[in-house]
Amino acid sequence: MQASVAWSDKEVGPSMARSDPIRPLGVPIPINEEERLAVVRSCNILDTLAEAVFDRLTALASSIFDVPIALISLVDRDRQWFKSKVGLEVEQTSRRDSFCAHAILNDPVMVVPDAREDPRFAENPLVTAAPFIRFYAGAPLVTLDGFRLGTLCIIDTMPHPDGLSQKELDILRDLAGVAVYGIEFGREAAREAAKLREQLQHAGAAKQRFLRMMSHELRTPLNAIIGFSELVERQAASAGNSEQQDYAGHIGTAGRHLLTMIERVLEWARVERGEVRLDEREVALSEPVDTALALLPDCNGRVILDPFPEKVLLKCDPQIVVQVLANVVDNSLKHCADDTAITLSTKWSEGEPLSILVADQGPGISEEQLQEALNAFEQPGDQFSRKHGGIGLGLAISRKLMELHGGQLRVKTSPSSGTVIELVFPAYRCSAESE
């Protein structure tokens, strides 16, 4: 059954649609054009790159029907755009000159045996000039919900007076059906991607609310608890009440531990959002090393510089390097026996990257546990998470901060053989200290 259409040219738009007889160069507009265009756009296929699944279909159509041109054409508001093409160089043509604009009016294949004899196309510039279309057959690309997006069409520069046989019509329709399947698959993938984006947006908003709550609602009372516990501890010590002093000390320790975890989560959020910026300057390598070790009173007598530091200048954000070094060394201290040493050393030659190595004699971990340790909010296995507090952000943050410097955090470890963490800074950040 013929679809209802309106005709449009430069003077007559969709709002003034009327059902006139076919005129030369007239552009037929389906009565459901706005809905059809919305479906075309929802497929997210316009102006996308070539895809093998569609290119194989046009190559197959050209071969089966022995024609020089085969197209998968999407009819947009003012143009027809070719998702796939054989025998044409252009990416699109005007809808005003499009054969496909007529073909999308009906479900059956539209066949034009000789365009010079068809009043719709006799004066079409694609007929009177290159590519000199004579024969055209287009099978509409009909979606599952009945919208015609465009066509899979075949074109010849020679007329085909006998048109297509029923078998050939069926083949062309089947090829169009395969094209629609590919388009529908992409459309469904686009819908799922949109749903996922929406879910991620909701999750991101919830995350921001949670982080704001942590930043204000938790840090403020925790700071008060820590302050009061220290006050009570001092008063208990002055009064000689050792039991009360111990209780207050435990409260303060627990509060500081919880505050540290909150700070780590907030810090990770800043890194993840890209809010951390480097405040770079050139410093002697010994400067951030000495500062990092000074922040770790437990490292006294356990950290060996072998040899360290080299006489190297490092262009970096010193505070961030201190943070990374402190995280890495503290991690080794926590996971090694108290009577084992942690070794810090460097490897550097002029013009080469600088490596800072932190080696311990701890139990080491498996490859699976290592990947957990490098991911946010994970710790390397139950045996460690039970023994050591925290939420598993130290190495994950350190790795991100090294990447911010253009560097890397590498880990070599295996069970019972210890762990070596290597901090690698790119060569352009390193130079030798002048004598």
Task: Answer for the pair 172, 152: CB distance below 8 angstroms, yes or no.
Answer: yes
In this predicted model, what pLDDT tens digit does every residue of 279-300 receive, in sequence order? 899 999 988 888 888 878 777 7
Buried-state track 187-205, b at ≥16 Cβ within 10 A, e below 16 = beeeeeeeeeeeeeeeeee
What is the mean predicted confidence (pLDDT) over 414-425? Answer: 85
Task: Answer for the pair 114, 155: CB distance below 8 angstroms, yes or no.
Answer: no
What is the mean predicted confidence (pLDDT) over 225-250? Answer: 87
Q: Which residue has the higher pLDDT, 67 or 19?
A: 67
284 phi/psi in degrees, rounded to 5:
-65, 140
Model pLDDT, residue 77: 92
pLDDT at 157 over 70: yes
pLDDT at 386 over 70: no
What is the mean predicted confidence (pLDDT) over 272-278? Answer: 72
Q: Taking Cα atoms as reference points, which of 201, 204, 254 lies closest to residue 230?
A: 254
Q: Helix 166-213 crosses helix 33-42 at what angle (to 10 degrees)?
A: 70
Cα 235 to Cα 249: distance, rounded to the nearest angstrom: 12
For β-strands 312-316 and 5-8, DSSP reports them as: unpaired
pLDDT at 121 over 90: yes
Cα 205 to Cα 209: distance, rounded to the nearest angstrom: 6
> Does an H or E element contain 176, and which?
helix 166-213
Tell me the three state secondary structure of residue 346.
strand
Model pLDDT, residue 67: 97
pLDDT at 329 over 70: yes
pLDDT at 5 over 50: no
Model pLDDT, residue 71: 97
CATH, domain 5-192, list 3.90.930.12, 3.30.450.40, 3.40.50.300, 2.40.50.100: 3.30.450.40
What is the mean predicted confidence (pLDDT) over 116-126? Answer: 93
Task: Work out the number of other CB atoms within 10 angstroms of the CB of residue 107.
Answer: 13
Q: Which residue has the higher pLDDT, 172 or 217?
A: 172
Mean pLDDT of the chain: 82
pLDDT at 346 over 80: yes
Long-range interactions of 338-344: CB distance < 8 A, separation 24+: 338/302, 340/302, 341/302, 341/303, 341/304, 342/299, 342/302, 342/303, 342/304, 343/303, 343/304, 343/306, 344/289, 344/303, 344/304, 344/305, 344/306, 344/308
Q: How many residues are there in the chain?
A: 435
What is the mean predicted confidence (pLDDT) over 201-224? Answer: 72
In this predicted model, what pLDDT tens digit does every residue of 302-324 receive, in sequence order? 888 877 666 889 999 888 888 88
Cα 181 to Cα 244: distance, rounded to the nearest angstrom: 75
Class of domain 281-432: alpha beta
Q: What is the dihedral of CA 172, 175, 177, 183, to 10 degrees?
A: -130
Task: Answer for the pair 229, 248: CB distance below 8 angstroms, yes or no.
Answer: yes
Model pLDDT, residue 309: 64
For β-strands 430-432 and 312-316, DSSP reports them as: antiparallel
Domain boundaries, the chain: 5-192, 202-272, 281-432
Model pLDDT, residue 26: 58
Mean pLDDT lowest for which of 54-63, 192-201, 208-217, 221-230?
Answer: 208-217
Cα 265 to Cα 396: distance, rounded to the nearest angstrom: 11
